[in-house]
Structure 1
Amino acid sequence: MFKSIFLKEYTIEYQSQVVDLILHIQQNEYNISITKEDQPDLLDIENFYQRGNGNFWVALREGIVVGTVALLDIGNGKTALRKMFVKQNYRGKTFNVSNQLLHHAIGWARDRSIEEIYLGTTPQFVAAHRFYEKNGFVSVDPRELPISFPVMKVDKKFYRYIIQ
């Protein structure tokens, strides 16, 4: 029997699952040398993301975190899309977790009159590049990023989405 995916705003009860999911994907799937200590935002999601026009969501299946996405308020009607990760078995059309998370975040931003969403990603995330482009994100030169956009040291490719 098909089990549904539920999107929910992050609460502290999901912290260890969120950290484990993200680190596993970064370190084991993509061999990126990044640690929990390199990402202090993961240890203080409420204060880092859930303020102003920012938020953080988890995708759950039977109470287990299978995906995450965040919007970080960077001011002037702009946000940064961060921490978009989906557990390997939940990628693709079967569960549609990536689409659900992305469109939930975009809809939430639209409801708050956000004008643009920016994101940075690593060169290794080729499937993610295709996903973002398919969903209306346009590649931008790093010099086009807002001054307030937080560039992570592993990010080398950047995108912008203009909310209609």
Structure 2
Amino acid sequence: MKIHIQQLDNSYSDQLIDLILTIQQKEFNVPITIEDQPDLKKIENFYMESGGSFWGAFIEGELVGSIALVKFDEREGAVRKMFVKKEFRGKELNIAQELLEVLISFCRENGIETIYLGTVSILKAAIRFYERNHFLQVKKEDLPARFPLMSADNVFYYLNVNQTV
């Protein structure tokens, strides 16, 4: 299976909403709706205008993964919407890793030095993934003032993109 990663724009909103809400609601029972995530209907405004981006991973034309970057300060960004469809997860395809590497390359090319993210403590595999990729845990109260908090998140990480291999 060949993975194709590309930047996404508003024309991918419906596919993204389907991918993300299915994982959030059905797989992990996170009480979140599309109304809680208006950014998914305004990808270009929300992510790109501030200097971030949104990427999707496709296999044979099907959207199977996503990752986004919100640039919230001159040299800082937040990782958002990191999702891979259940049947496409794992080391064999390495989709999450490829998505993260695309985002980190983008940060380096665009002068973003530190990325932050919030996640939910029940997402154990996600937490292990971030820690394997050298993200360090940070207390909520130590996050940058402008970090865009999501109400569901209760575990936070950061990474200096220039210190990773």
TM-score tier (shorter): over 0.9
* Identity across the alignment (%): 46
Q: CA RMSD in A?
A: 0.9
- In structure 1, list runs of 5 or more residues that go unmatched: none
Q: Deviations over 1:78-125 (max 9, x none)?
A: 000000000011111121100000011001101111110000001111
Measure, in 2, the Cα distance between the counterparts of 1:136 and 1:51: 28
Measure, in 2, the Cα distance between the counterparts of 1:50 and 1:69: 13
Measure, in 2, the Cα distance between the counterparts of 1:57 and 1:18: 10
Q: How does 1:50-69 map to 2 (within 5 A)?
A: 50-69=48-67
Q: Which runs of 4+ in 1 moved over 3 A?
A: none
Query: Does 2:4 align with 1:27?
Result: no
How does the TM-score come out when normalised to structure 1? 0.96
Deviation at 1:162?
Answer: 0.5
Match for residue 104 of structure 1? 102
Measure, in 1, the Cα distance between the counterparts of 2:10 and 2:150: 24
Measure, in 2, the Cα distance between the counterparts of 1:68 and 1:74: 19
Match for residue 10 of structure 1? 8
Measure, in 2, the Cα distance between the counterparts of 1:86 and 1:28: 14
- In structure 2, list runs of 5 or more residues that go unmatched: none
Tell me the number of residue pairs that the alignment of Structure 1 and Structure 2 aligns: 162
* Partner residue of 1:159 out of 146, 157, 160: 157
How does the TM-score come out when normalised to structure 2? 0.95
